[in-house]
Amino acid sequence: MLPILIPLFIAITIIGSLMAKPYWREYKRDKVRSLPFKKEWRKIIQQRMPYFRQMPADLQLQLKQHIQVFIAEKEFIGCNGVKITDEIKITIAAQACLLLLNRKTDYYPKLKTILVYPSAFVKQQNQLNPDGTQYTKRIALSGESWDFGKIVLSWQDSLHGAELPNDGHNVVIHEFAHQLDQENGKANGAPILGKGQSYQCWSHVFSEQFKLLRKQASAGMPSIFDYYGATEPAEFFAVVSEVFFEKAQQFSIEHPALYKQMTNYYKVDPIHW
C-alpha cells in the first residue's frame, strides 16, 4: 500500500503547488503595488515622460503600480559600460507599462531580462543574395525583442523616445509591443485579444491597413506610419502601437477603423490625455 501512496502524495503535492503558484504570484504583486511610490521615482517620470502629467489621475496611479511590479520582477543588465540606475529602470519601465493600463496583465510573462546599451548596437545578420549565396551584414539597431526572455534597448534612443512624446517614434513601446505579440508564439501582428474583440475583424482591418502602408512605401507616398511597418505584420503592429500612443489625434482621423481596434485592444484612448 505504501509504495502506491508515496507517488500519489508526490503527484498531489506537485499539482497543488502548480495551482497555488499564480495566487502566490498575485499576492506578492499586490504587496508590491501597495507600497508607497518613491518620490525619487516620481521625479524621474515627470522629468523623462512629459505626457505623464497629461494622463488622468487614475491612469497615473495604475502606471506607478505597474512600474513597481515591473521593477521588482525584471532584471536590468548594462552592456558596453552602461551602469544601471533608477533613472534607466524607471524611464524604460514607465514606457513599457503604458501598454498594460486598464486591463488584466501578467507583466510580459516571457520577459526576464532587459539589456541596455549606451546607444545603437551592432548586430550581424545573415542575408541571401539574389543568386542564393549567403552573406553577413552588420546593422545598427536601437532595440530588439527576443521571444525567449530578453529585450535589448539603446539607452540613448529610449531616452529620446520618452522626451519626444509626439513624434510617433518610441523604441520602448515598439519592442514591448513585440513582447505582447510574442505571448502566444512568434510575433505575427496578432496578439492575444481581450474579451469582446474579434480576431476576424482584427485580421481584416490590419490586413487592409498593412497593404495600404506597403503601397505607400513602394510609391514613396506620405504616411503617419514609418515605412518599416511595411516589412512584415509583426513590425506593422509595433509601429502602429508607437503612433497610437504618440499621435493619437491624427491617427484617429486618418485611420479610424484601425484606431478603434487599437483602443479596444489597449483599453485606453490617448486622445483624452
Q: What's the CA gap between 165 and 11, in Å, rounded?
A: 52
The structure's pTM equals 0.87
If one counts every other C-beta atom within 10 angstroms of the C-beta of residue 88, the result is 21
Burial class (CB in 10 A: 0-12, 13-18, 19+), 124: exposed
By mean pLDDT, which of 10-24, 139-153, 242-256 is the weakest?
10-24
Beta-bridge partners for 76: 114
pLDDT tens digits, 214-240: 999 999 999 999 999 999 999 999 999
Residue 106 scores a pLDDT above 60 = yes
* Domains contained in the chain, CATH given: 29-117+143-174 (1.10.472.150), 188-273 (3.40.390.10)
Q: pLDDT > 70: what percent of the chain? A: 85
Q: Cell numbers of 130, please?
A: 539574389
pLDDT tens digits, 72-97: 999 999 999 999 999 999 999 999 99
Q: What's the CA gap between 261 and 56, in Å, rounded?
A: 22
Residue 18 scores a pLDDT above 60 = no
- Please, what sign has the CA dihedral across residues 113, 119, 125, 128? positive
User: What spatial distance separates the first Cα and last Cα of the chain, rounded to whole Å?
Assistant: 66
Residue 137 scores a pLDDT above 80 = no
Closest CA to 95 of 25, 169, 36, 13: 169
Question: Of 185 and 77, which is predicted with more confidence?
Answer: 77
Total count of residues recorded for the chain? 273
Q: Cell numbers of 266, please?
A: 489597449
pLDDT score recorded for residue 115: 97
- Following DSSP, what letter does each residue of 71-126 receive, concatenated? HHH-EEEE-TTPPP-HHHHHHHHHHHHGGGTTS---SSTT--EEEEESS-EEEEEE
Identity (one letter) of the amino acid at 179?
Answer: Q
